[in-house]
A = this chain, B = another copy of it.
Amino acid sequence: MQRPEPFLLINFKTYLEATGKRAVELSKQVEKVGENTGVKVGVAPQFCDLERVSATVDIPVFAQHIDSVSPGSSTGHVLAESVKAAGADGTLINHSERPLRLADIDTAVQLAKQIGLRSVVCAGTARLAAAVALSEPDMVAIEPPELIGTGRAVSKENPGIVTDSVKRVYRVNQTVAILCGAGISTGDDVSAALKLGTDGILVASGIVKAKNPQEVLASFCEAVVR
Contact = CB atoms under 8 A, between A and B. Distances in A.
A52 to B, nearest CB: 6
Interface in A22-78: 46-52, 64-65, 69-78
A210 interface: no
Contacts of A156: none
A14 B131 contact: no
Nearest to A52: B51
Interface residues of A, number: 63
A140 interface: no
A96 B105 CA distance: 14
A75 B65 contact: yes
A128 B102 CA distance: 8
Contact of A82 (B20, B127, B130): B20
Contacts of A185: none
Interface in A132-175: 132, 134-135, 148-149, 168, 171-172
A125 interface: yes
Contacts of A171: 172
Given A15-B72, A82-B14, A86-B49, A106 B125 contact: yes
Contact of A48 (B83, B92, B103, B149): B83
A98 interface: yes
A71 B13 CA distance: 9
B102 A132 contact: yes
Contact of A16 (B75, B76, B81): B81
Given A48-B85, A49-B82, A92 B75 contact: yes
B85 A102 contact: no
Given A51-B51, A102-B94, A75 B14 contact: yes
